Amino acid sequence: MCGIVGYIGDKNSVPILISGLKRLEYRGYDSAGISVLDSDRCSIIKSKGKVSILEKKVIEHKLNGTVGIGHTRWATHGEPNEINAHPHSNEDGTLTLIHNGIIENYSTLKKTLQKRGVTFKSETDSEVIVHLIDSFLKKGHNFFQSVRYALNSLEGTYGVAVIYSKEPDKIIVARKGSPLVIGIGDEENFIASDVNAIVAYTSQVVYLEDDEIAEIYRDRFNARTIKDIEAVKEVVELEMAADEVDKGGFEHFMLKEIMEQPESVFNAMRGRLLFEDGISKLGGLKGFEQKIADSERIIISACGTSWHAALVGEYMLEQFCEVPVEVDYASEFRYRNPIIKKTDTLIFISQSGETADTLAAMREAKRKGALVLGVCNVVGSSIARESQAGVYIHAGPEIGVASTKAFTAQLIVLALITLMVGRHKSLSLVDGQNIIREIQSLPEKIKKILSLNSEIEKIAEKFKDAKNFLYLGRGYNFPVALEGALKLKEISYIHAEGYPAAEMKHGPIALIDENMPAVFIAPKDSVYDKVISNIEEVRARKGRIIAIASENDNKIDSLVEYSIKIPDTIRMLMPILSVIPLQMLAYHIAVKRGLNVDQPRNLAKSVTVE
């Protein structure tokens, strides 16, 4: 949530800050602001709304300066407006700060500062930090020590960047639970909450760890812990290219990312399948294969779309590996004192690798001695660094807030883990080779589904004004029903619910009438006849039916209003295919409703606060 960017060097920082904020806007777009060092004070410009509004104000003010910080906000404390927008400053304007995270003891700190005569302008918890730093400066401490002392007083999470006009040669940054990265340039350095903001300027980065603080100069940086112990940092070379975070000619990032799925699915499997042995080879799990196979139980934990992927993973692992699997919402996991044994393996899934609830759940599992694996997309993310082993999904940057290609890439990785574990147990060579053949066939099958784009757009036109939707599936396709409903809710603001199709009779059928669209995921699999019975029940009550069906299924056409035909594959992989028409349907409905599909209201891409 929220985006941070900063620059120190010899160039005008303003264009760099605005460019970075535009690339970070998917992390929050309630308001935005920048602060630039200008002579003896920090010049601040803020605005409610998107970065484009801020950009116009900045151009009008002709702001210029070689040191600056910028922020795009997703509101937690205080409504989205210009006053609550970051940066926040001390009373004389010499000190400005931007902050991601939540300060849990801000109310106590605020009351203490108010008693000392400090006047607050905003409703945010973040403003407390800048006044707290200022209070230490007034006691005679230098800039670095004042920030460090202030951070030691905070409870909660933060990623902060601070500039001070009386020590204008540096930016001070720190993190605890909210990601920050330092970009290394030639006589210039950058900071960001996400490498997307700075990849156009540098390919060398340093990731800050929790409880670390750094002074960033034009030509160097110094990193320490907030307890003032030296922190040794490694410079990492990014593999990402700047053009990967552009729209590439598409109207929206979401459509681009949907259309990239033949490539992202291929990249998730590339170099990881050994057909002769009927097994997958996952370098990030090397040395842990047998321990995972010997697990008495596997627990998968995630949030949102990743949780839906986890549900599919449960079906896969139980079918082919004969091991009990539980799936937990990460947001609930650590608050119920979960029973975790050292014989358990826990898999934590997160596109960003920074999801606060998932990260906290992972740390709890590590504390209890279980084997902890991470499945994430962003190289160098917190989950990737803190897990004992793991697998990158290699989907490439996903900018659209509603996850699409990351979901299907997560399913590929879960299938590869299933294949690896299954072959270490009782899965035969022949069955392993059959799974590999089917996995390798997926990119071409996805291309066939994407060719239905115009057909799906026409269906969207018919349903764009619906008030409610039901999504129904059985077995492996029940999680797909949940994911299809989530996509529609996220970007079109139409109420939608996903259910196991058989559960429809236990309540949701009461909603069925001639105005209720019901989307059935109904490929020709082992529960096909059961789903057809459910379709008949909706049809008898005049419900409007859309079916995702097998391309050789002619029977279903007479039972539904619209059918979207997709290629067949084995059951464990069908969700990878059946979800794509639902992504496209949600996208086109939202566009036809005139909505911004990349930046849906109230949502942000990476949920880094609880």
Cα separation, 197 vs 291, in Å, equals 39
pLDDT at 73: 82
Specify the residue for token string 């670095």. 144
pLDDT at 471: 96
Measured in whole angstroms, how far is the alpha carbon of residue 258 from the centre of its chain? 16
321 is catalytic: no
pLDDT at 405: 96
- Tally Cβ neighbours within 10 Å of residue 595: 15
- Catalytic residue, chosen from 2, 42, 321, 376, is 2
pLDDT at 265: 97
Residue type, 465: D
Does the pLDDT of residue 242 top 70, yes or no? no
> Residue 49 — pLDDT band, cuts 50, 70, 90?
confident
> For residue 462, what are its two tokens?
């018919």
> Residue 605 — pLDDT band, cuts 50, 70, 90?
low
- Tally Cβ neighbours within 10 Å of residue 39: 9
Which residues, 6 or more positions from 218, have their beta carbon under 8 angstroms from its beta carbon?
8, 9, 10, 169, 187, 188, 189
- Tally Cβ neighbours within 10 Å of residue 79: 11
Measured in degrees and rounded to the nearest 5, phi and psi for residue 254 equal -60, -45
Angle at the Cα of 253 from the Cα atoms of 251 and 259, rounded to 5 degrees:
90
Whether the CB-CB separation of 534 and 502 falls below 8 Å is answered with yes
Cα separation, 148 vs 228, in Å, equals 8
| Secondary structure (3-state) at 127 | helix
pLDDT at 168: 94
> Residue 240 — pLDDT band, cuts 50, 70, 90?
low
Cα separation, 401 vs 3, in Å, equals 14
pLDDT at 352: 85
Name which of 297, 578, 560 is nearest 442 in CA terms. 578
Cα separation, 421 vs 300, in Å, equals 15
162-180 b/e (C-beta count within 10 Å ≥ 16 → b): bbbbebbebbbbbbbbbbb
> Residue 506 — pLDDT band, cuts 50, 70, 90?
confident
Residue type, 48: K
| Secondary structure (3-state) at 162 | strand
pLDDT at 245: 65
Does the pLDDT of residue 262 top 90, yes or no? yes
Does the pLDDT of residue 334 top 80, yes or no? no
pLDDT at 241: 63
Query: Which regions of 25-86 does DSSP assign to beta strands (E)?
Result: 31-38, 41-48, 67-73
605 is catalytic: yes
For the four alpha carbons of 117, 123, 129 and 130, in that order, the dihedral sign comes to negative
Does the pLDDT of residue 600 top 90, yes or no? no
Cα separation, 501 vs 520, in Å, equals 8
pLDDT at 603: 72
Whether the CB-CB separation of 574 and 475 falls below 8 Å is answered with no
| Secondary structure (3-state) at 4 | strand
Average pLDDT, the chain: 91
Most confident option among 63-77, 261-275, 529-543? 261-275
Q: Pick 432 or 179 by higher pLDDT.
A: 432
Does the pLDDT of residue 586 top 90, yes or no? yes
| Secondary structure (3-state) at 322 | coil
> For residue 559, what are its two tokens?
């039972």
Q: How far is CA 355 from CA 20, 83, 301, 360, 579, in A?
A: 21, 28, 11, 9, 23
pLDDT at 411: 98
- Catalytic residue, chosen from 170, 176, 489, 605, is 605
Angle between helices 261-269 and 405-424 (to 10 degrees): 30
Whether the CB-CB separation of 69 and 120 falls below 8 Å is answered with no
For the four alpha carbons of 474, 478, 480 and 484, in that order, the dihedral sign comes to positive
pLDDT at 401: 86
Q: Pick 382 or 436 by higher pLDDT.
A: 436
pLDDT at 318: 96
- Structure confidence by residue, pLDDT tens digits, 387-401: 999 999 999 888 888
User: Which CATH architecture fits 251-450?
Assistant: 3-Layer(aba) Sandwich (3.40)
Does the pLDDT of residue 243 top 70, yes or no? no
Name which of 411, 601, 403, 562 is nearest 486 in CA terms. 403
pTM of the predicted protein model: 0.81
pLDDT at 238: 81
- DSSP H or E run through 358: helix 356-367
Length of the chain in terms of residues written: 610
> Residue 244 — pLDDT band, cuts 50, 70, 90?
low
pLDDT at 606: 58
Q: What mean pLDDT do residues 445-471 have?
A: 96
The runs of H, that is alpha helices, within 280-345 are 289-293, 304-321, 330-333
pLDDT at 182: 96
DSSP bridge pairs for 214: 173, 223
User: Which CATH architecture fits 452-610?
Assistant: 3-Layer(aba) Sandwich (3.40)
- DSSP H or E run through 548: strand 544-550
Name which of 100, 230, 97 is nearest 171 in CA terms. 97
Q: Is the peptide bond before 87 cis (omega within 30 degrees of 0)?
A: yes
Q: What mean pLDDT do residues 319-337 have?
A: 89
HSE, side-chain direction, 13 A CA sphere, residue 275: 7
Q: Is the fold of 3-245 the same as that of 251-450? A: no
Cα separation, 341 vs 62, in Å, equals 60
Q: Mapped to the 3 state alphabet, what secondary structure does 192-250 carry? A: ECCHHHCCCCCCEEEECCCCEEEEECCCCEEEEECCCCECCCCCEECCCCHHHHCCCCC
CATH topology of domain 3-245: Glutamine Phosphoribosylpyrophosphate, subunit 1, domain 1 (3.60.20)
Every domain of the chain and the residues it spans: 3-245, 251-450, 452-610
pLDDT at 338: 84
Most confident option among 56-65, 66-75, 563-572? 563-572
